[in-house]
């Protein structure tokens, strides 16, 4: 029916400021949202096909198996909104079951988002599709102006919520309430706590795709911030920290070295890490308690092989 694409300019200045601040901090850290340039998006899709990384496949299988139940629990919705939609593969399932009149997909990676959303628009001519290229951590409130009135479902799959420490996750879930509106619902997919060996394997796939995804951040900084990272002098390192309940992903410096980034110099000691991502894992009761801190009440729960989806109102 209709397709709209809106780009909220941000990117370059934010990237520079965030990276310089992150490299000056101790310990060094760069926000994971910067993984997703075009190559990062492709590598993430490749991660999802690795035998060790079952998360995406399990969530798809869970959704397919419980779709009628989930649709009945969600009820009628006019609009589905997905922040961080990526290739929009997961929301396609929901479209068939919920039959909304409007779909709004949001992602910081504008070009892949536009292509995926256009594909949905072609396959669902009855649907109004809006693609919003934005950093939702910055501009989420502006997205609401692009959504129709009526009942909205905010869909946040992929355990993306696990990328935020609990206080920030609670803050983001509270902002989703504004996006969902008064009658709104929230459907979230998250990875469960499980055998640390399984988690370790998932973030250290034998083909090295997660390592390439992690190191691609440095390639991006070399290209976009005129940096001179030598990728051979950094190593992908990911491990499950059961005390904190999260997988931590780092790039470890393999030498004493100094790296130039956007005209500034940063020293990396041998063994020093640049932290690039947290992936928090939850128990079901922990996640519903977290969502309660953001004002959401649990209405449904579906679990399959170490992965859960919860519905909130
Ligand atoms: C782990 S992928 C998940 C993609 C998809 N939702 C799924 O479940 O397969 C995370 C997606 O969120 C996007 N993203 C991460 N941080 C973002 C931010 N702050 N604003 C907008 N999009 C973001 C990334 O570009 C990426 O496409």
Residue 224 in domain:
no
Question: Rounded CA gap, 249 and 4, in Å?
Answer: 36
β-strands 28-29, 273-280: how paired?
parallel
Question: 44 alpha carbon to ligand 1 midpoint, in Å?
Answer: 10
pLDDT tens-digit map of 189-243: 999 999 999 999 999 999 999 999 999 999 999 999 999 999 999 999 999 999 9
Mean pLDDT over 20-38 rounds to: 98
In a domain? residue 148? yes
- The domain tally of the chain equals 1
Band of the pLDDT at 150, cuts 50, 70, 90? Answer: very high
Across the chain, what does the average pLDDT equal?
A: 97
CA distances (Å), origin 238, targets 13, 55, 199, 262? 29, 16, 10, 27
43 inside domain: no
Alpha helices in the chain (DSSP H): 12-24, 38-47, 55-74, 89-98, 110-123, 136-143, 166-180, 196-202, 209-224, 284-293
Residue 274 located in a structural domain? no
* Domain containing residue 83: 51-194+281-312
Side-chain-side CA neighbours of 177 within 13 Å: the count stands at 15
Residue 232 lies in a domain: no
* Residue 81 falls inside a structural domain: yes
What residue owns the CA closest to ligand 1's atom 9? 158
Kindly give the distance from the C-alpha atom of residue 113 to the centroid of ligand 1, in angstroms, as a whole number.
10
> 2: CA distance to ligand 1 center in Å?
24
Name which residue sits closest to atom 17 of ligand 1, judged by CA. Answer: 33
For position 12, what pLDDT does the model report?
A: 57
Mutate to test the pocket of ligand 1, among 15, 84, 171 (most ligand atoms within 8 A of CB): 84
Say which residues have a Cβ less than 8 Å from residue 49's Cβ, sequence separation at least 6.
Answer: none
Instruction: Name which of 12, 33, 6 is nearest 172 in CA terms.
Output: 33
The CATH code of the domain that includes 155 is 3.40.50.150
Tell me the CA–centroid distance for residue 258 and ligand 1, in Å: 31
Joined together, the tokens standing for residue 81 give 């909104």
pLDDT digits (tens, 9 = 90+) for 252-293: 999 999 999 999 999 999 999 999 999 999 999 999 999 999
Share of the chain above pLDDT 70, in %: 99
Q: Is the pLDDT of residue 13 over 90?
A: no
CB 31, CB 217: distance < 8 Å: no
In a domain, 222, yes or no: no
In a domain? residue 141: yes
pLDDT of residue 47: 98
């Amino acid at each position: 029916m209709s397709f709209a694409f809106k780009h909220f300019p941000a990117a370059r200045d934010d990237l520079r400021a965030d990276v310089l601040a992150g490299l000056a901090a101790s310990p060094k850290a760069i926000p994971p949202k910067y993984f997703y340039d075009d190559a990062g998006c492709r590598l993430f899709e490749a991660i999802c096909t690795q035998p060790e990384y079952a998360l995406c496949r399990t969530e798809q299988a869970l959704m397919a198996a419980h779709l009628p139940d989930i649709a009945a629990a969600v009820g009628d919705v006019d609009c589905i909104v997905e922040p961080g939609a990526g290739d929009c593969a997961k929301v396609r399932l929901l479209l068939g079951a919920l039959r909304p009149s409007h779909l709004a997909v949001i992602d910081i990676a504008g070009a892949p988002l536009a292509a995926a959303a256009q594909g949905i628009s072609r396959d669902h001519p009855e649907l109004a599709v809006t693609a919003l290229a934005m950093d939702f951590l910055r501009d989420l409130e502006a997205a609401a102006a692009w959504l129709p009135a009526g009942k909205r479902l905010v869909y946040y799959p992929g355990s993306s919520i696990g990328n935020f420490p609990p206080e920030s996750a609670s803050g983001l879930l509270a902002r989703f309430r504004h996006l969902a509106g008064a009658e709104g619902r929230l459907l979230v997919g998250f990875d469960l706590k499980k055998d640390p060996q399984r988690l370790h394997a998932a973030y250290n796939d034998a083909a090295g795709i997660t390592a390439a995804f992690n190191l691609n951040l440095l390639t991006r900084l070399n290209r976009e911030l005129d940096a001179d990272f030598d990728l051979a002098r950094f190593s992908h390192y990911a491990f499950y920290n059961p005390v904190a309940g999260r997988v931590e992903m780092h790039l470890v410096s393999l030498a004493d070295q100094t790296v130039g980034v956007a005209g500034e110099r940063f020293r990396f000691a041998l063994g020093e890490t640049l932290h690039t991502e947290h992936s928090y894992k939850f128990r079901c009761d922990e996640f519903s308690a977290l969502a309660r801190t953001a004002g959401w009440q649990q209405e449904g729960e579906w679990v399959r092989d170490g992965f859960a989806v919860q519905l909130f109102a």
